[in-house]
Structure 1
Amino acid sequence: MVLVCLGLKKGEIRVESYGVRKSRLVVAHESRIACFKLARDGGIVATASSKGTLVRVWNTRDGSLLQEVRRGADRAEIYSLAFSSTNEWLAVSSNKGTVHVFSLKPCQRSQGIVKTSDSSDRNTLVSLSSSSLSFIKGVLPRYFSWEWSVAQFRLVEGSQYIVAFGPKENTIVILGMDGSFYRCKFDPTTGGEMTQLEYHNFLKPEDTC
């Protein structure tokens, strides 16, 4: 059994592993923690800071950084984080009106710290390690080697949305404070914009004739 809570210092989380009776402090971000999410099996935890640009995934067993993904370039307020049941995907909602889905690599979850700037991933916009420009990899800004989202869904800006994975494979459920409900599906292979499967607004019932 694992419990994660905020630490006493800014940007810090505390991981309590009751099975092995260990307590670990992880300095997750330089700025304060805005949101964090523990996976169902307790093995990994995702954190986002008040800047809202990066989301980091940590190993709760040893406190190592497993993966770092970028939501965007500008500051944002992260509203929610969600892992899929298999820990294969991570969903993120923010005040920018977009839900992002990131791919989590199982091999990295057991290998400790992964340096994003040196990694190659199908979700990265510019795959330097497999391109003819790999010889200047150390020269290009780190921005070009971040891991970006596989799929996105656009929402109305200005409302707070909570995201979760649906019971069916590759589906996302989104609930808005404005009463909106979305059910979407993403393609794990091609990615891109999600397909909207369902929409309701419980605060604004549809007119009946």
Structure 2
Amino acid sequence: MATLSASPSPNPNPNFRSPTDQTDHDPESLPHMELHPSSDQDLTPNSNSNFHAVLPTPPEAIAPAAAAAPSLLHISFNQDHGCFAAGIDHGFRIYNCDPFREIFRRDFDRGGGIGVVEMLFRCNILALVGGGPDPQYPPNKVMIWDDHQSRCIGELSFRSEVRSVRLRRDRIVVVLEQKIFVYNFADLKLLHQIETIANPKGLCAVSQGAGSLVLVCPGLQKGQVRVEHYASKRTKFIMAHDSRIVCFALSQDGQLLATASSKGTLVRIFNTVDGSLLQEVRRGADRAEIYSLAFSSNAQWLAVSSDKGTVHVFSLKIHGGSPGIDRSQSASDPVTSPHSSLSFIKGVLPKYFSSEWSVAQFRLVEGSQYIVAFGHQKNTVVILGIDGSFYRCQFDPVNGGEMTQLEYHNFLKPEAAF
């Protein structure tokens, strides 16, 4: 699942205990968890769609009278890409993608910066981490927020800053700089911990299908990814690139993995079960920073966003997979991705000339950060920018080429509020 977060800022609030101030735990001890005393219910997510209701604003969340657009600290899609969350300098907001609209917001008047907002599909439970120059919560804590009660009902504390959080209906995954912790959602029991290479971006992906959990994270070597298959209790290491891994994505069933390195020229697709390389596609010839990768729901397409200001859509030639997922191509689907016109001499010239190129593209502002996902309408992508931009575009699966822009919004503008 794609996320964008602004660079973490030092925590100036003296009321927050920094990780190094916690003297009551051994440095190598497990993270501390506590449920708030007033909460005696379990933490099993409630799938009730009342999550969409705008609830009374609690006393600790009074909206500031700020007319200016807020500062965006974090954006991320939910698991099915039907919603997205924005962490801002004084709270967080939740939006629906199709149709585009703000679902609700929480504005805090004491500090209030939220650096991570992780949704769980459309249910009432969210995971929050403080961020920005004036965080609402310590950046080394994951707060479990119940929006039915409009308050935090639990927390997970760590000795270093939380880089990211991933949620499934049965698991909470917390990513630190060099460790990952996996918890049972119902009781917050620690089930597994993993050591990784330095991971400042908090890279981690988890499968969201009904089957068993598949988790992907950086390995202990540059260019290596680690795949955990929890059903079979198997760990697979894949040397995906020679350079540092900067982005990856899982298909919903956890069987396919797309990876990109710091070079940003090639994207590779692997089988997570045996680690085999299934396909390689080329974003471009020059170096780029890849911001997000996303599979379509049927794993027929792969979208890529980068700092070059172009979103690419690639056709995947991967067949098979878990039952119920049809990756077969219909008459309206492309048979092949574009190749270089010089591919006939690929045995003589560098591999560049036989590369698979994107089927469709959409041009954005170069240098800005964007994340991308496939929309619920056929052949559409949704693009979110750290500048508050929302684009919905449509691509032609047969002829490819430039995508058509269907919609644009700035979701940070005050007048966009409901």
Name the TM-score class by shorter chain: 0.7 to 0.9
1:201 corresponds in structure 2 to 410
Partner of 2:203: none
Structure 1's unaligned 5+ residue stretches are 110-119, 129-133
Aligned residues: 192
Distance in 1, Cα, partners of 2:373 & 2:220? 29
2:339, 2:319 → 1: CA distance? 17
The answer as to whether partners of 2:337 and 2:358 remain within 8 angstroms in 1 is no
Contact between 1:7 and 1:13, CA under 8 Å: does it hold in 2? yes
Match status 1:124 vs 2:339: yes
Which of 293, 296, 316 pairs up with 1:84? 296
- What are the Cα deviations for residues 37-77 of structure 1, in whole angstroms up to 9, with x where unaligned? 11101001100001100000000010000000000000000
Quick one: which of 355, 372, 381 aligns to 1:163?
372
* Partner residue in 1 for 2:17: none
Match of 1:16 among 224, 228, 238: 228
Deviations 1:68-102 (A, max 9, x none): 00000000000000000000000000000000000
Q: Tell me, in whole angstroms, the C-alpha distance in 1 between the residues paired with 2:305 and 2:377.
A: 20
Q: Answer yes or no: is the 8 Å Cα contact 1:121–1:127 preserved in 2.
A: no
Inter-partner Cα distance in structure 2 for 1:80 and 1:150:
17
Does residue 67 (structure 1) correspond to residue 279 (structure 2)? The answer is yes
The structure whose RCO (Cα within 8 Å, separation 6+) is larger is 1
State the alpha-carbon separation in 2 of the partners of residues 81 and 143 from structure 1: 21
Q: How far off is 1:122 after superposition?
A: 3.8
Are positions 1:174 and 2:383 aligned together? yes
Superposed counterparts of 1:131-150, under 5 Å: 134=344, 136-150=345-359
Q: Residue 125 of structure 1 aligns to which amino acid in structure 2?
A: S
SS at match of 1:143: helix
For the pair 1:4 / 2:4, whether they are aligned, the reply is no
Deviation at 1:108, TM superposition (A): 8.6
Residue aligning to 1:115: none
- Letter of the aligned partner of 1:93 in structure 2? S
- Checking the alignment, whether the CA contact within 8 Å between 1:67 and 1:108 is kept in structure 2 is no
Letter of the 1:126 counterpart: S
In the superposition, the TM-score normalised over structure 2's length comes to 0.44
Residue 112 of structure 1 is matched in structure 2 by none
- Give the CA deviation at 1:142: 1.7
Looking at structure 1, the residues matched to 341 and 317 of structure 2 have their Cα atoms a distance apart, in angstroms, of 18
Shift in alpha-carbon separation, 1:192–1:176, aligned structure 2, 3 A: same
Shift of 1:138: 1.5
Deviation, structure 1 residue 179: 0.6
**Does the aligned pair in 1 maintain the 2:278–2:318 contact within 8 Å?**
no
Q: 1:206: Cα distance to partner? A: 7.4
Aligned residue type for 2:402: E
CA contact (8 A) 1:81 1:92 kept: yes
1:55 alignment partner in structure 2: 267
Counterpart of 1:65 in structure 2: which amino acid?
Answer: L
Could you tell me whether the CA contact under 8 Å between 1:123 and 1:149 is conserved in 2? yes
1:151 equivalent in alignment to 2:366: no
**3-state SS of 1:106 partner:** coil
Q: Percent identity?
A: 71
Q: Superposed, which structure 2 residues align to 1:81-120 within 5 Å?
A: 81-107=293-319
* Aligned 8 A contact 1:66 1:108 in 2: no
**Please, which moves more after superposition, 47-56 or 198-207?**
198-207
Tell me how far apart the structure 2 counterparts of residues 40 and 78 of structure 1 sit (CA, whole Å): 20
Letter paired with 1:151: A
Rounded to whole Å, the distance in 2 between the matches of 1:140 and 1:14 is 33
Are 1:44 and 2:285 an aligned pair?
no
Distance in 2 (CA, whole Å) between partners of 1:105 and 1:189 is 15
CA distance, structure 2, for counterparts of residue 137 and residue 36 of structure 1? 28
Counterpart residue identity of residue 27, structure 1: M
CA drift at 1:123: 2.2
Q: CA shift at 1:121, angstroms?
A: 3.7
Hey, what's the Cα distance between the residues in 1 that align with 2:359 and 2:237? Answer: 31
The answer as to whether partners of 1:103 and 1:123 remain within 8 angstroms in 2 is: no
Instruction: Specify the structure having the higher radius of gyration (Cα).
Output: 2
Q: Helix, strand or coil for the counterpart of 2:396?
A: coil
Q: Distance in 2 between matches of 1:96 and 1:56?
A: 19
**CA shift for structure 1 position 201:** 1.1
AA at the equivalent of 1:165: F
Query: Deviations 1:89-144 (Å, cap 9, x if unpaired)?
Result: 000000000000000012498xxxxxxxxxx944223374xxxxx4x442233211
